[in-house]
Amino acid sequence: MPTICPQGLLAGLRGSPKTVPCSYLYDKKGSELYEQITELEEYYPFRAEQAILEKNADDIVSHVPKGSVIVELGCGTARKTGLLLSALIKRDGASKFAGIDVSASFLEEAKTNLMSLVTGLKAEDIDLVEAEYITGLQKVRQLHPTENLCIMWLGSSVGNLTNDGAAQFFKDMLVAAGQKSQVFLCTDLWKDKKVLHAAYHDSRGVTEEFILNGLRNALLSLGLAPERLDAAMKNWVYEVVVSAKMRRVEMWVQFKEGLEVFPGKNGEAIRIAPGERLLMELSRKFTVGDINRLASVSGYYVQAAWRTRQYGVQMLLPMQ
Ligand code: AVJ
């Protein structure tokens, strides 16, 4: 269970609307459910990204200087990273990789997967860093003081952050990695509202299960008894809102009945009113303008981009 930030959880539950940090979505069960989501008919982003990487791997790595270290944020099981590492090894004969993730078991799986998928990748060229992203980046910079770092952020996970949150994150990334770095950023693009809604409210209910599991994890970590939780869950309703104004998909849970949770021994109660809605996850969908703005407010510019109507991947460089 990633009890990554109990303070963050409490702050979120005391806010309005109530929110839960997205780290609670990715315990073992949540990660398995996410893998299932990527295979759903309606969930196009995973395949859209994969297709762009497959088609353009050689061209993409032509923007990565020789001798770079490929750093992956939230590498998970690194199912897609192999495509780019293979292209680099084809060009340079070797490649260095550093995976950053909060899950040690994912990191081990990533290493096993990469070793079997990427011919020519040596075990000693792989670093596994178990940490949050920015701390992890600082560690990678210490391990590789002079090399160019190509930071790969796949899966449109930047979409989980608000506009301001993303800008701050990119600024922090630049400080941690330094000028000799670049960011390979993958982003889902804004599109038809029905397509977006279906991608997050699939007919088999896997996304619903994924979101409810995250909420269950969060409340369990506050000490709510499992029996009480299971009873409460029967009154939870999953709702997806597509906001054109904010260009994002919002994943909510509505409580048909109220719930009271006492965090810790003497913690002040958290009260969820009957009918209250809790925001579990945001998934922003970008326009090209959004991406350019995000880059420029945080000290980067877009050097190259590979896009379809559905999805975009782009190489960002620090502004000099
Ligand atoms: C892994 C954050 C990119 O926002 O599409 C999928 C997570 N949540 N279905 C996304 C997710 C519900 C996913 N990201």
Q: How far is the CA of 283 from the centre of ligand 1 (A)?
A: 7
8-state DSSP, 286: B
Q: How far is the CA of 272 from the centre of ligand 1 (A)?
A: 25
Mutation choice for ligand 1 from 156, 203, 242, 279, CB with most ligand atoms inside 8 A:
156
8-state DSSP, 189: B
209/116 Cα distance (integer angstroms):
32
DSSP-based three-state secondary structure for 268: coil
Q: Give ligand 1 pocket residues (Cβ under 6 A).
A: 37, 45, 155-157, 159-160, 200, 207, 210, 281, 283
Q: What is the number of the ligand 1 atom nearest to the C-alpha of 281?
A: 8
Higher pLDDT, 74 or 244: 244
5 has a pLDDT exceeding 90: no
**Whole-number percent of the chain with pLDDT over 70:** 98
For 110, the token pair is: 């990533």
8-state DSSP, 158: G
As a whole number, mean pLDDT of residues 87-116 equals 92
Strand order in the sheet with 248-255: 18-19, 277-284, 248-255, 236-243
94 has a pLDDT exceeding 90: yes
Model pLDDT for residues 220-250, shown as the tens digit of each residue: 999 899 999 999 999 999 999 999 999 999 9
Averaged pLDDT score across all residues of the chain? 94
Is beta strand 149-153 parallel, antiparallel or unpaired with respect to 181-188? Answer: parallel
For 159, the token pair is: 């979409």
Residue 3: the pLDDT is 43
Q: Which of 85, 130, 88, 70 is nearest to 106 (CA)?
A: 130
